[in-house]
Every structure is written in C-alpha cells, then in structure tokens.
Amino acid sequence: MATNAREEFLKSDLFAELRGRAAGLTASDAEFVGEASSLIFKILQGSGKGPFTMLLPTEEAVSNLPIDPEELTPELREGLLGILLDTFLYGTLLSDGIGGAVKGGAVVELMTVGGGILRAIRNDGQLALVDPSGCTAKVSGPVFKGPVTICHHIDAVLMWDEWIKPPICGSRRCA
C-alpha cells in the first residue's frame, strides 16, 4: 500500500471505527460482505464527508472470488473490509462524466475512501477502472442515484491484491 493517502487513512479515526464495528458484526460469513457494506455506508453517511460514489461488484464478480464464503478467517474479514472501503469514492461521479474525461487515451486517477488509487481508462470503447495490480473492471451506467450516493456496477472485484495476501490478480479473471 504505497500511497501516503492510504497510510493516513489506516491511521484515521474513521478506519479505527470501521474496524472496531466490523469486528463486532455477528453476520455469518456468507452475509459478512453485505453487512460490512451496509456498515461502511452508514458510517460514511454520518461522517459528513459525502457525497459518495459506490462501485458495486456484480454478483458474478463476487462469486468468482477464490474464497469460501462459509470460512472467512479474521484476516480475510479485515481484507474484505479494506476492499469494500475501496469501492467508495468521494463525490458523485457519473460514469458518462468520467468517460468523457478519458477520451483519446487520457487517464483519470480517482482516490477511494480507503486511500487507494484507481485509474479510469477506456477499454474497448467502454469506461473501465484499473487497480494498482492491473486488474480491470468495466463500469456500468448508474444503477442508483440518491441525494448523497450514486452506485455503478463493476464486473470485477478490484483492490484484492492491496488488502489480501498472497496476491491473486494473475490467477483470476481481472478484466
């Protein structure tokens, strides 16, 4: 985790609160991702630092993860919490607005709530996000627009190699 923003975030009160409250989740392992996402969303809403854009991996992307959702270790739970934090971006970013900015081969860097950096690019004419490991996810148009949140679907789970070791990007479908 090379960025200063990431290091600062890991020391922040917000991350400490999220870790503490996520450790207290009583969800079964299979329900952890959904409950942790809801917890993150609730805490972010109350932080006064919004609005936010959420990047929701499709069900197919999540089902392709090389983990058994019935056997999440504490390390995997914490890693998944980090990955979920990196599905949130500050601001309400519409895919067509970002897509317009990356015309002609331009790259736009986007910082996640967790302090990670995603690069927005054009991939086969479609808006895509690339994580530091080179994993790529195509971005759909908004699937939800609320007063403080916009949600887009992405077709891959990004930032895995930033939070969970050993890295697996090369051994899974990243694009």
Residue 138 pLDDT grade (very low, low, confident, very high; cuts 50, 70, 90)? very high
Q: How far apart are CA 155 and CA 169, in angstroms?
A: 14
> What number is the average pLDDT over the span 152-166?
84
54 pLDDT exceeds 80? yes
Would you say 94 and 107 are in contact if contact means Cβ atoms under 8 Å apart?
no
Q: What pLDDT is stored for residue 129 in this prediction?
A: 92
Q: How far apart are CA 120 and CA 38, in angstroms?
A: 25
Would you say 84 and 25 are in contact if contact means Cβ atoms under 8 Å apart?
no
> What number is the average pLDDT over the span 155-166?
82
Q: Which of 160, 152, 170, 140 is nearest to 85 (CA)?
A: 160
CATH of domain 4-171: 2.30.180.10
Q: What pLDDT is stored for residue 173 in this prediction?
A: 45
Residue 167 structure tokens? 């890295």
> What number is the average pLDDT over the span 10-24?
82
Q: How far apart are CA 14 and CA 33, in angstroms?
A: 19
171 pLDDT exceeds 50? no
2 pLDDT exceeds 60? no
